[in-house]
Structure 1
Amino acid sequence: MSSGKDHRVYMKAKIDDFLNNFTTKAITDKPNNLPEYLLDFIKQQLGLKLSESEHEELLSLRQFMKNHEKGKGSSSESQSEDDEVDDLPIPKKGRASMARTSVSAEVFGEWNKKENFKPRIIPKSQDLKIRIHERLNKSFMFASLDDKEKDIIVDAMEEKNFPANSFVIRQGEDGNELFVVETGKLECTKVFSQEEGPKFLKFYQPGEAFGELALLYNAPRAATIKTVTESKCWCLDRGTFNHIVKDAAARKRERYEKFLEAVELLKGVDNYEKMQIADALKSTSFASGEYVIRQGDWGDVFYILEEGTAVAKKVFFTGGPEVEVKQYMPGDYFGELSLLKGEPRAANIIATSALKCVSMNRKAFKRMLGPLDEILRRNATKYTTAPN
């Protein structure tokens, strides 16, 4: 049974931080409908499952990549998928961006050579640079960057302010900028059918980024973003995005490509989804004998073992011995049970050699590994069954 001290530790580690973050945001934004605002805040913290539009977009991008890899030569299988998934929209003739008509042209074109690129520098105070750095550190989009690359991004970012109820980007238009929200609240809508009109997808809050798809895939804007309140965004130009952010993501994907192929859990995941998982991973190291996870703690991180070995040990009753229940080798994973069930850690995970893991936070875990939910739950029984 938990002691009063345990309650205070949990309160300080989890509840106080959550309430402080929520209170700070609420005081800043001053929402009229506080319960609805709290619900939006909780959804942002947990991470949402793929919406209908995001699922459609994912299918489109998968098919686009398959066609590109096959040189547009489709098998009967890919042809049947084409009947269900539309290709990414192509800019209309006469538009200014007509030169950017394919991903391959953008990636390998003359204008994209590194030696010809000089990132723009927009002067900023040191305090302002620190503030933008803090925003970048909270954004998934910039997780692959090192400090030097983040400095280049910060220098290149331009401040833009938008009044309430104004359009930041419109579906179908060409896009040359990525946006990171500094303050305010914005809504994202998408038209799936002209007869039905726009459909609400999600709200964007401070720290979140949008607009990257038009830059990544050289396609028109996939949705409309409109401010709900007066908002400030930091805007990154196409050139800097392609040469810094995109390249860093590519290096990270290349690093993890072979590793993820060997992870048994991900055997049924297609290449596009594996690339998204690679983008979300962070590297963490532990010394031999160090606890990676402690039984009973509240956890927000899922781990895949990259190098070294570890064991899972569990105490099955109060005062009982610590019993080994599983050994881990490279490619094995752990930490999923807390994220699946919202419960404390089910076992201790201890490094038995110098250990290197890649980790994924709760939000990325929910988005990326949602389809593997049943496999993860079935495998999780290894923590709850005592050895014979």
Structure 2
Amino acid sequence: MPAAMEKQIEELKQQLEKQCLINKELQRQNKDLEKRLTEKEKLLQQLQSQYHDLEFPSQTGNEIEPEVRKSRAAVIASEPIPENLEIKRARVKKNVSETSLIVKAIQKNDFLSRLDDEQIAMMVDLLKVSHFNPGDEVIQEGSEGDSMYIVAAGELSVTQSGRDLRTLTSGDVFGELAILYNCKRTATVKAKTPVHLWCMERQTYRSIMTNKSKKKREQLVGFLKTAHTLKDLNDVQLSKIIDSMEEVKYQDKDVIVREGTEGNAFYIILKGEVLVTKNVNGHEKQIRRMGKGEHFGEQALIREVLRTATCTADGPVTCFSIDKEVFEETIPVEHLELFDDSKVMQEAQAPEKSSPSSTLRLKDLIPVFYQEGRYQGDPVTLGVGGFGRVALMTTLPHGKYYAVKRVSKKHIVAKRQEEHMLFEKKILKAVQCEFIVRLHGAFKDTRYIYMVMEFCSGGEIWTKLKEVGRFDEPVAVFCTACVVEAYAYLHKKNIMYRDLKPENLMLDVKGYIKLVDFGFAKELVRGEKTYSFVGTPEYMAPEIIKNQGHDFAVDFWSLGILIFELLAGSPPFSSSEPQKIYAKILDGEIRYAPYMSEAAKSIISKLCRPRPGQRLGNTKNGIKDVRHHRWFSSMNWHKLRVGQLEAPTARLIRKGPCYINFDRFPDDQTKAEEEFSGWDRDF
């Protein structure tokens, strides 16, 4: 072989060896990257499972929004609000610079900046001052929080598991989630220097907000009653109108309505003064002045009229306004004395046909065990939540399967959820609806209460959604239609659900959807509002976050969020930090993916309107409007109700042992402490 060729071969060999080494190094780096990625993902999952507690905003600028909700949603159980907690605390006078510091701090905070001017003014008014010395601990990681703070002066360090996170200085806000609900602190905050803080407790904040909202509603109802056109409406209808009205602000000299133009809105003055003028021989002649509580433009609501005068803002003015179209959606104009509420009430009070009581006994139930896999021989756990576990059980003679929910009584008392538990049992006992899970029996011992439920062998929609990423439209339409049927049944019985999310939707053997978990359901008289802070952050309606009082309309908001999550794989408002979720919800801007159909975008945007009175499902035709929306044009509602539709979800259900469609959970041998307060006497 010629020398030149040998040399070439040698060179090639060397190049190959070099390439091999590079490849090896790349593989090693790849492995390393993969390992780091897995570790990162693990960490991310841990963080996300704790995310509802996260209370310290990350340094902005480098935040990447999570595209997909990977962990189950955190749940917030409402605490009872003292109905008439009067604020007895001496109000702390604040000078101009203190007020300015507080307002600036609120304005730069993601969540607090979304409160309205009045709410911000009340916060400023009620903040009290605390002093800490260097080394003092203001917040301890892992403890339960009930106060938020604004730094007036000094420096504090924020640490998590001993790691320094950041330093807080004058104008910084921390701990703000605690004024919404009882949450675990996720970091420790210590004074580095002498520190002055402005602080507020949750009970104070919620009581002011609630009382303020109630008073404002009462006042608005009073104002509406003075309008001639509306005098025959009952409180339920007036409440509906208030839910549909928008707040509008005008500057000095702004013309609000102009004489001779077509009228299409009605206004109530909330703040400021309005001048009413008429054109007489080419000159504007002042007729009168109107102030707070007075209204104008009511004729426009019921007939085609031209404005008979001009109304101009004299100084800054805030009005509450409703336009004709929205009004007609809210109140059927044909007969303004309107629908008779007594029928609805009688129906609600008719005694429930309770389900035939079975002769099932707790001691007849035996656990089902995993047949294979790493938990082989352990009892099957179908789900684990903040409030307990759900186990798969069977009865020997007829081999029927049941899902048995077991909740620690001590935990219920600690979280003040006694009422919710009793109500959940009461509802489930009374309902007989194909789209709601059945309760076969309820039992208790000294440690737990047990609810024996129908077993839905198809598993959770949440698990299926995670498996496939996102649902095709026909699957999403079918799932949502089942929820609409469950809503129609519950709302007719004056029950709101308040906890819609994929985790609470189960598939039965045919692929039909059933609603489970009624821990947050509540009975509500039409026209009334309730003020608890309750639900799952991503699914919460703006009026809950703002403590404005809410009703059945929150269920339609969450229906819009559900449709979005089923089609996109994650909800429209998400972040690893709850305060960022709330801020996004209050901004209300939904970004749709390019693959979403026009009809889907339309139904989501109509269900997720910020004003509850304008939401699809909550206007005068009620839930009918949801069924008639074009997104459901292919749905045969009658066939769905009688179970004759082929469920497109059926193909998501895996074949195998009865627990194949559920995530697997390790067994938990620990026992809850005993609890003897007796709250469960009637359970």
- TM-score class, shorter: 0.3 to 0.5
* TM-score of the superposed pair, with normalisation by structure 2: 0.24
Higher share of residues assigned helix: 1
Larger radius of gyration: 2
* TM-score of the superposed pair, with normalisation by structure 1: 0.40
